[in-house]
Chains A and B, each alone.
Chain A
Amino acid sequence: MGALEIINFYLVPGLVVGSIYALGAVGITLVFAILRYAHLAHGDLATLGAFLGLGLVTALGISPYLALTAVMALTAVVAVGIDRVFYDYLRERPKIVTVMASLGIALMVRAIVQMVWGVDSQTYTRGIVRPENWFGIRVRDRELITIVAMIVLVVALQLFLQRSKWGKAMRAMSDNPDLALLSGVDNGKVVTITWVIVGGLCAAAGLFLGLNFELKAMMGWSMLLPMFAAAILGGVGRVEGAVLGGLIVGVAEEMSTLFLPTEYKAATAFAILLLMLLVRPTGLLRGKVL
């Protein structure tokens, strides 16, 4: 097999799915770093975002790309709401209680999606899209947009974290929560901003997953493991690490089908996760130790 085939059939699809994992993994790493628990409803929040997008696309007849910002905002509101009603209530309890609660939220969100949109697979648009040819490399527009959108969102997030007052407060809360409180940072506000960002990123991940594949109630749940693997691979608390981790897991999953039967694709993320925890628990970019 030539280099072009490898690029077209493995690398490009790997980078596309990796970009989607990256969007999810960045949110997971932020929740880990600032709120200090594993958020198991992350995938199903992405599912909700994808279906809210479907709702807008069918109701208004707009393209899914136009729906993106609205869907991110809606899911952010849902995420903040979930935090206010459930997670915030458990704040003083051991973190494992919140982890278990987030599993419950995952099931609840999925059930709501199934009740509203049914259990059949759906798509945003009909028909087959032929890939464009760029000097032999074949990429569909939606694939290119997925990768570019991921980069734009992550750069915007990094600018916010590095430059803005509240972005710095989020980093301070992740770095040393006690000292952040002693500096006068309002913890509640940091938590709310975190959920706005995480909810928005979840929705983007879900929407792009639906755009490149199809929408079904289990779509988010089934990418929970690769997203966690990506976050841990990159180093917990590291936004750039989560992106790198997402891309690596995505490409590794596609490449694995070169050597292994396709059924083992999903096991690749698990293998990467185990290997990383064994060899370098701080992740590629030296994150927090869990």
Chain B
Amino acid sequence: MKPLLQMTDLHGGYGDANILHGVNLHVAPAEIVVIVGPNGAGKSTAMKAIFGLLKIRGGSVTVGGVDITGWEPNRIVEAGVCYVPQVDNVFREMTVHENLEMGAFLRSGDLSAAYDRVYGLFPDLKERRKALAGNLSGGQRQMVAMGRALMLEPKILLLDEPTAGLSPKYMEQIFQISRDVRDTGVAILLVEQHAKQALAFADRGYVLASGCNRHEGTGADLLADRDVADMFLGG
């Protein structure tokens, strides 16, 4: 299938230092793709590169065939890409509902269907819609962050370690919600520390190390790979 998102031979980093040395990846419509790799491999950096949040020195990013390299973040959002950063991913001093409202900032008209959809995916949030996001538990905050990104009804959702620091119960819940979101036709690209569980749940995966592609394949293939297992599946 024609890829929805394609990153081709991407080079770039922060300031003068290069972190990414030619990363290639693609995501098809309604596909769940996971990026795994050791700490500091450049996984978050690869996601930020899609949004032009670092200096890109070579390569390109396309969405639906349109080259979006170097675009302003608000235009990329309009192109249907929504991003949940690894940290600081909610407006702490705003209520849960206001966080969702900010997610829909670029939309006008009746948003009730979008709220219903997000509150349907995250019933916990509906109960706490008037609470300040900064006062929620880590798991609920992650749900606010995902909910905010979903309000724009993106074509692809980027999630950077959505389960970091969460209990297994929340992790399972986040994975389940990701599947539900995918079933509504949204593609998901996520970075995960919990490599074993993530590879088991994703359609395809990439292993990144030192800013380069190391392995790629279906989740099952990567789980079966000796080299990948030695790297971080804990032998």
User: Beyond A168-B101, A171-B94, is A184–B88 a contact (Cβ under 8 Å)?
Assistant: no
> With contacts A184-B105, A185-B105 known, is A179 near B74, CB below 8 A?
no
In the assembled complex, the CB of B45 is this many whole angstroms from the nearest CB of chain A, namely 15
Interface residues on B, range: 20 to 34
Interface string of A180-222 (1 = CB under 8 A from B): 1111111000000000000000000000000000000000000
Smallest CB–CB gap between B75 and chain A, Å? 9
Chain A residue with the shortest CB-CB distance to B152: A184
Stretch at the interface among B61-69, B77-85, B177-185: B77-85
Q: Which DSSP category, helix, strand, loop or mixed, fits chain A's interface? A: helix
Provide the residues of chain B in CB contact with A11, threshold 8 Å. Answer: none
Q: Which listed residue, A176, A181, A184, touches B91 by the CB 8 Å rule?
A: A176
Per the 8 Å Cβ criterion, residues 148-194 of A in contact with B are 165, 168-169, 171-172, 174-176, 178-186
Does the CB pair B105–A179 fall under 8 Å? no
Q: Are A180 and B102 in contact (CB under 8 A)?
A: yes
- Please indicate the chain B residues that have their CB under 8 angstroms from the CB of A181 in the complex: 73-74
Smallest beta-carbon distance A282→chain B, Å: 13
Distance of A185 Cα from B73 Cα, bound (Å): 9
- A168/B78 contact (C-beta < 8 A), A179-B91, A183-B105, A183-B148 known: no
- Output the nearest chain A residue to B84 by Cβ-Cβ distance: A182
Question: What string of 1s and 0s marks CB contacts (under 8 Å) between B87-103 and chain A?
Answer: 01111111000100111
Q: Is the CB of A183 within 8 A of B103?
A: yes
* A179 in contact with B90 given A184-B77, A185-B74 (CB within 8 Å): yes
Q: Does B106 contact A (CB under 8 A)?
A: yes
Question: B77 to A175, Cβ gap below 8 A?
Answer: no
Residue of B nearest to A162 (CB): B98
Which residue on chain A has the smallest CB distance to residue B53?
Answer: A178
**A49 to B71 CA separation, bound complex (whole angstroms):** 40
Determine which residue in B82, B98, B105 has the highest number of CB atoms from chain A within 10 A of its CB, and name it. Answer: B105
Question: What residue of chain A has the Cβ atom nearest to residue B106's Cβ?
Answer: A184
Residue contacts A-B, CB under 8 angstroms, 7 given:
A168-B101, A168-B102, A176-B90, A178-B85, A181-B74, A183-B105, A184-B78
The 7 lowest CB-CB distance pairs between A and B, nearest first, are A184-B106, A184-B74, A184-B77, A175-B91, A181-B73, A183-B102, A175-B93
